[in-house]
Structures are given as structure tokens and as C-alpha cells.
Structure 1
Amino acid sequence: MFYWIYEAYGDEYGLLRIFSYVTFRALAAGLISMFFSFFLGKRIINFLYQLKFKETVRNDGPKSHESKTGTPTMGGLMIIISLSISVILWGNLNNLNLVLLFIMSLGFCALGFGDDYMKAIMKVKGGMRARTKFLISIILSLIFVYTYYNITGKANPNIQKGIVFEITDLFLPFIKGSVLSLGWIAIPFAILVVIGTSHAVNLTDGLDGLATGTMLFPTITFGIIAYVSGTPVTANYLNIPYLPGAHEYSVFLSALAGSLIGFLWFNSHPAQVFMGDTGSLFLGATLGMVAIMLKKEILLIILGGVFVIEALSVILQVGSFKLRGKRIFRMSPIHHHFELMGIPEEKIVIRFWIVGILLALISLSSLKIQ
């Protein structure tokens, strides 16, 4: 909204030029979304209590989790509402990729909300059928990928320092230039990235503040990468793909970081509210979509390493039990394994955050080491 005000009246009122600066709008977006998270937090929690949107804790998990039964879920609404207000206020909605990212994030949030509603209100054990949720995830991912490639251009060469690349090219961390042209394979590959990330974050959401805090670090990192990728001089200096308009994603990501910090205030141990699938599916899918838009799909494996480990622990556990009849971990995802080893929940969460910070620093170093 403020960017439109600048476009309409910027020539007449020079002071409005400040709304044209991405750095200012990104900072303002983060602060505003954080403010709304704090402001709406208690109100949304009370609202969820009144509607009886309460979490039912699995009975085969750690005994310490039994006390969490009845805690309001669907707290992801707090994140998405704060994010939406901030993006509408500070984002440049002339940027079609930003609008696409915003709309598709709402779509995955709606999918998670439907799953939470079936579990909390309709009392359907396990919520939405896995096949149904997976099918809808594929459809949403396909809509995003197809629309994104058509907006940006299926074969739109970008030239910088003699480097030519297409939107379907694949880039590797620490290596200059594209390494492979995916062609039509880029579509199923991108769908896999979005779905895989959304479910990995969903699996990580098992301890107070774990998914929220861990999600914060890749969000900030991608915000920085988005800004430099959309700035020609900086992109050329760092030998990374110059992506016109990508700096506007930093406004969205800053707003998301602010809403995560606000939500963490209420989600930290002992949690007053859980994000539910309403939050986790939307956050994971958003992370995957941003990785695709920034050409950082492979870097996401490093940056989102905590989510990768959580997902792999489940895959290995299920595979081992089906093939050998034996479990590798005491319980999966792996954070529950550490709990059953006797490590306090708060210590597990903080250690995972530390790992997330280290992975973020490694990911940022890849910008120059290539």
C-alpha cells in the first residue's frame, strides 16, 4: 500500500521517496508484523480456547507431553495474519512473483487449517487423510511452479559478467554459474522441493518453539540472499544469479521473520499455543517456494539441515522397521529420540537452534566462496 502511495504522490511529496527503498520497507515490515503478533497473540489464543481448537497429544510419545493436551492449536493463524497485514502495507504488489508467493502461502495455510479443523473440531483421528493432503499439496505446488515459470519466463536468459542462465537451470552452493539445465524436469523437481520442505517442517513441529525458532534462521538468511540477488551490482560481485525483482522478496521474508519472533513469544516453553499444521505446512511450503525463486534449491538442504535430519530420521525409522523389524531410534522424529534419552526439552530446542544458526552462517558463506 505504501509503495502505491509513493508511486501516486512521490513526485509531489519528496518525503514519500522513502517508501521506494526496499531496505526501509523490509525493516518496517518486520517490525510491524512483530507488533501485530504481540498485539494479536493473547486475543487469538483466547479465541482458539473459546472455539475449543485444542491439541490432542499422541499417547505413545514422551510422558512429559501429556500435560500439553488441551493447549490451543492453529496458532499458525497468528503468523499468517501478521504476515498478511505487513505484506499488504509494505510490499510492492506490482511484483507478480511476490503476489504469487503470498497467495500460494495462503493456500498452504488453508490446507493446514483444514487438517487441524478435522482433528480438533470434527474429532477425526489423524485429521485429513494422508492421500488427500498429499494430493492437494501436489496441486498447490503445481499451480505455483507452473505460474512462476510462466511469469518469469521458461527460457529467459539473464546475462551478468558473461554468465547466461535460464530460469530452469540448477545451481550448486560454492560453485559459480549453473551446473545443469533441468528443462521440463524443473517442474517435478520444484514440486518435490515444495512438498518435501512443507512436510519436513511439519515433522519438526514437535517441541515448544522448535519449528518456530529453527524456521527463523533460514527465513532471515533467504531475506539477505533475496536482497543481494535482486541488486545487480551486488549479484555480479558475488557471482550469484541476478534475479530482477528478487529484492522485493526480502520484504515478505522480513515480515515473516517478525511474525515468527512474535509467535515464539507465546510458543516458547511452556507453550501457550501450538502452530499446528496451519502454521507448519504453510511455513515449510513458503521456504521451499522461496528457494525455487532464488535458485537455491540445493542450498536449502544445507540451510534447512535441521528439517532434513528430522525428515530423514522418520524415513530411516519406518524403512528399518519394515525391512528388519527393528527401530533405529527410540522414537522418531529424532527430537523425540533425544527426549527419551533424558535430555530436557528446552535443551534440545536450544541445541537445534544453535545448529540452525551454524547452518545459516555456512549458507551465507556460500555467497562469496565460489
Structure 2
Amino acid sequence: MLAVLVAAVVALMIGLLGTPAYMKFLVKRGYGQIIRDDGPTAHHTKRGTPTMGGTVIIAATIIGYFAAHLSTSFLGNRGYAEPTASGMLVLFLMAGLGLVGFLDDYIKISRQRSLGLRSRQKLAGQALVAIVFAVLALRFPDAYGNTPASTAISFVRDTPLDLAFGGTLAGTALFVIWANIMISGTSNGVNLTDGLDGLATGASTMVFAAYVLIGIWQSNQNCTGALNLNCYDVRDPLDLAVVAAGGMGACFGFLWWNAAPAKIFMGDTGSLALGGALAGLAITTRTELLVIILGGLFVTITLSVIIQVASFKSTGKRVFRMAPLQHHFELKGWQEVTIVIRFWIIAGLFVAFGLGLFYAEWVVGAL
């Protein structure tokens, strides 16, 4: 538990105190946000606001994680002093997708246009990072044979639906495809949500907090210690809680400066990284389908884009005034702060419902 607390506090302080210094660096370099001409006119006042702030979130999360391990090592708690394969893989996924987003942001700024990497280039970068993560996640078994991920589709734990039904090689290939779908969907979902000041940051904070609780609970009820019929076969649950705590603290600190009126934007650097981290946590905690509920706001906003595109291509009519969904309400006259707070409430309800399902499954199974 000390490691979880240290990761959250260190990441919070870096996000809170490091962001202003990074903003000065970005302003000095002239790295400001490019605004789409076809977006809400109110956004034009945000042109030039420092972007690529996701770099601070990634750095704060990683530093918080290693600070937590250094603190436990210093206090002689050898059981949790060493970084684990699961934790390192999630951080790799977060940093790897953050790099893809950073390239996208940098191209936008350097070429002074709203389009960075082309869609195929961005998807290719995401896929490359996701494939490396997925392949490695099926390796590194612990003393009990548990690997960071499994080929079984999971909800709140692994289900009987195993992708390895056709053999180990086929199962690995199918898992890589499944992991790519999850990672791409989650990272792009957060990316689409990041359209208003503080919206994606606040929602991500809530989901990270949920994974702190999930990781701690799974650690307390892990099959390596709590030998009951409803224990969890998760390789490194407490270390995953440390990663989630780092992400939560980093987002909290960054939100101080990202809340309306935002002094800095996370950019694709942050949104892709946060989505990747959440997908990685879902895969390694064996809660792959539960993340759809925990991140319900991201799913809802992504669906609004899909519905808008499908409707326009099939009928020539738009369902929403503008997609993603938050911009629809902007064009209806809602104030930006009102939209953000109400969407945060919706995000919190999704997280509460997801955690309720997670706990209810354990209660029913333990009876």
C-alpha cells in the first residue's frame, strides 16, 4: 500500500509543479495548439495555447512508479521492491503510444496545420507498439505460471472463451489481433474525448482510480495468497495498482493547469498515452470487457462519431450538429464548463457501475 501512495503523491507533485516549467519551455519554442477551422468558433481563442502536455503526464507516471519501488526497497520490503513485468509492459505501452502522439503533435506544430500524421501512419504506429506489447505480455511467467496477459477473453476475470482453442500459435495470433483492437479503440476513444478543457484528463483520472482499487483488491484476493474459490489469477495486481496510482496522480496534477480555461493541452501525446495505459491495465488485470463500462464516457463519445459518419454516408443527414458528442452540445449553446462537469458526472457514474459489477461478481462467486 505504501508503494501505491508514494506513486500517487510523487506523480501528483510532478504533474502539479512540473507542468508550469514545461509550459514556459513550450511557449519559448512557440509550440502552440493549431485549431481546426471547421470546429466551434469559441475554440479559435485557444489558438497558440501550449500543447504536447501529455509528456508531463507520461514522465510523472513513470517517475512516480520508480519512486514507489525505490521507497519500498529503502524500507526493506523486498517483496515489492522490484518492478514487475506487468507494470513495465503497461508503462511501455503508455510511453510507446505517447511517442506516436508526440510525432503527430510535432508535425502539426512544425507545419502549422491541424493535420499531423495521416490516419494510416498513426494506426501503423499504434499497431507496432500494440503488437510488441501483446507478444511480450504472453511471456514472462512467474513461479505459478501466470503471465501478464492470457489468451482468454476476460470480463472481471478470465472467461471460458479462450483464443488459444486452435493451438498456442493461433491463440497468440488471435490475442495480438484482440489486443490491437482494444488498444486502438481505447486510445482513440480518449483522443476523441480530448476536445474540451479538462474533459479527457478528469475522466481518465476516475478510470485510473478504479484500477487502483481493482489492483489492490485483486492483490488481497490473489490465488497466490488468498486460496479461495473466487481468487484472481493475475500476475502482478499490486504493481498494476502502483501504475494506476501514478497515472491517477499525474492526471490530477496536470488537471490543475488543464482545467478551463486551459493553460496547456495534453495533445495526442497525452490522449493516446492515457488510452494505451488504460487498455494495458485492462489486459493485465484481466478486465478487458469491464473497461468498456469503466470508460463508458469514452465509448459513448466514440459511438457518436461512428453514428455521425454512418448516418451521413448512408442518408446524407447528420444525427448530431457536430461530432464528437461534446461539440454537439457546444453548438446547442451549452457553456464549455457545463459540458465538462456534466460529462465528468457521467464518467463517474460509469466508473461506479463498473466497480459495482466487479465487486458483485466476487460476492456472488464467493457465496
Task: Sort the TM-score into its range (normalised by shorter chain).
Answer: 0.7 to 0.9
Q: TM-score, normalised by structure 2?
A: 0.87
2:217 maps to a residue whose letter is V
Do residues 365 (structure 1) and 346 (structure 2) align? Answer: no
**Hey, what's the Cα distance between the residues in 2 that align with 1:152 and 1:357?**
35
Give the match's secondary structure for 1:170. strand
**Hey, what's the Cα distance between the residues in 1 that align with 2:229 and 2:353?**
15
* Cα separation, partners in 2 of 1:215 and 1:235, compared to 1, 3 Å: farther
**Contact kept in structure 1, 2:34 and 2:113, CA below 8 Å:** no
Give the match's secondary structure for 1:272. coil
1:332 maps to a residue whose letter is A
Do residues 88 (structure 1) and 79 (structure 2) align? Answer: no
| 1:304 CA drift (Å) | 0.5
2:259 maps to a residue whose letter is S
Map of 1:178 onto structure 2: 159
**Hey, what's the Cα distance between the residues in 1 that align with 2:105 and 2:231?**
40
Give the match's secondary structure for 1:121. helix
**Contact kept in structure 2, 1:240 and 1:367, CA below 8 Å:** no
Selected match of 1:327 from 315, 318, 327:
318
Measured against aligned partners, the alpha-carbon deviations of 1:202-257 in whole angstroms (never above 9, x if no partner) come to 00000000000011111010111112223327976693533132211111111111
Unaligned runs of 5+ in 2: 70-80, 165-170, 362-367
1:221 maps to a residue whose letter is A
Map of 2:255 onto structure 1: 264
Measured against aligned partners, the alpha-carbon deviations of 1:7-57 in whole angstroms (never above 9, x if no partner) come to xxxxxxxxxxxxxxxx01111111111111122121111111111111111
Note the 1:115-154 alignment, pairs <5 A.
115-152=104-141
* Cα separation, partners in 2 of 1:130 and 1:238, compared to 1, 3 Å: farther
Give the match's secondary structure for 2:213. helix
2:112 maps to a residue whose letter is K
Selected match of 1:300 from 282, 291, 299:
291
**Hey, what's the Cα distance between the residues in 2 that align with 1:285 and 1:50?**
30
Q: TM-score, normalised by structure 1?
A: 0.87
Unaligned runs of 5+ in 1: 1-22, 159-165
**Contact kept in structure 2, 1:235 and 1:242, CA below 8 Å:** no
**Hey, what's the Cα distance between the residues in 1 that align with 2:308 and 2:231?**
38
**Hey, what's the Cα distance between the residues in 2 that align with 1:157 and 1:270?**
46
Map of 1:162 onto structure 2: none
State the identity %.
36
Map of 2:42 onto structure 1: 64
Do residues 241 (structure 1) and 241 (structure 2) align? Answer: no
**Contact kept in structure 1, 2:35 and 2:114, CA below 8 Å:** no
Do residues 282 (structure 1) and 273 (structure 2) align? Answer: yes
Map of 1:167 onto structure 2: 150
* Cα separation, partners in 2 of 1:283 and 1:236, compared to 1, 3 Å: farther
Selected match of 2:198 from 194, 206, 209:
209
Do residues 219 (structure 1) and 218 (structure 2) align? Answer: no
Note the 1:335-350 alignment, pairs <5 A.
335-350=326-341
Q: How many residue pairs get matched?
A: 338
2:150 maps to a residue whose letter is I
**Contact kept in structure 1, 2:97 and 2:273, CA below 8 Å:** yes
Map of 1:78 onto structure 2: 56
